[in-house]
Structure 1
């Protein structure tokens, strides 16, 4: 038996995933705002790692619908903590950009509350909570209904404008 035949069966990228937003949410074109820099997390809308669709709610806060695919697995049938942290990094940073701040994430804290099952759709809600000088603080939580899987906070630093 070859080494390749001992591997787990691969998953089809054709798995149907409905990332529709809630009533009142407006689709948000993240790549139009920040360009191609979103490749690591949300770069493959049909892949087996992540599938993400962005929205703005009625308060103009960024919301994300996310499917954690089989390639994010850590504990059996659950998302790896690193995959959750990567999603927080992208989404919280993007929330600052969507609020008008050109930033990089300087510090990211994630608190894991419950195992997040793979192949389920969750929502990451964001809120820009403070702006002090060049520091922009953004908070978020990954949830499905009343269940909170993780909470995160990013300290973002605005990028100084380049002088010519």
Structure 2
């Protein structure tokens, strides 16, 4: 028999997580720099996909605390490689913007080192390695303690006229 009522699915949100930075890190308002382009990873600060908070250190390098929620699952209990790559894309591209280079990502190479458990807060560190002409190279890694989950190299291309 066909159903005539609309069924609602209730999704319960995971509890809050501490995305606080290290001593000396200064909170960085990433959306004010690049606008709505941060929707994919950073767009739901209390959601079940990603939760992210960005910081800068004394040398002006960009750092982040990222939480990979249950909606980022790939292998059982672990973050999907595409979710890890999405975080690297956002964080490394944002590092170039924060350093004064309005860019788009031209090439992103991610090396996966360890499986990243879900619902774990990890640190992302990134830094601009070089800038020559329109090419800006940014390196970064996702880690917690001594465990490195992913490392990435990002070739960014500056946007003409920006």
Bucket of the pairwise TM-score, normalised by the shorter protein: over 0.9
Unmatched segments (≥5 aa) in structure 1: 1-8
TM-score normalised according to structure 1 size: 0.91
Structure 1 counterpart of 2:73? 73
CA shift for structure 1 position 11: 6.0
C-alpha distance in 1 between matches for 2:156 and 2:96: 8
Describe the superposition over 1:53-86 as per-residue Cα deviations: whole angstroms up to 9, x where unpaired: 0000111100010000000000000000000000
Structure 2 counterpart of 1:33? 33
CA contact (8 A) 1:11 1:48 kept: no
Where 1:44 maps in the other structure, the secondary structure is coil
CA shift for structure 1 position 12: 2.7
Structure 2 counterpart of 1:5? none
Structure 2 counterpart of 1:142? 142
C-alpha distance in 1 between matches for 2:21 and 2:30: 15
TM-score normalised according to structure 2 size: 0.92
Where 1:105 maps in the other structure, the secondary structure is strand
CA contact (8 A) 1:56 1:63 kept: yes
C-alpha distance in 2 between matches for 1:121 and 1:10: 25
Describe the superposition over 1:99-121 as per-residue Cα deviations: whole angstroms up to 9, x where unpaired: 00000000000000000001000
Structure 2 counterpart of 1:102? 102
CA shift for structure 1 position 125: 0.3
Alignment size in residue pairs: 154
CA contact (8 A) 1:136 1:155 kept: yes
CA contact (8 A) 2:104 2:156 kept: yes
- 1:74/1:156 Cα in 2 relative to 1: closer, same or farther (>3 Å)? same
C-alpha distance in 2 between matches for 1:58 and 1:145: 21
Runs of 4+ that moved beyond 3 A: none
Where 1:94 maps in the other structure, the secondary structure is helix
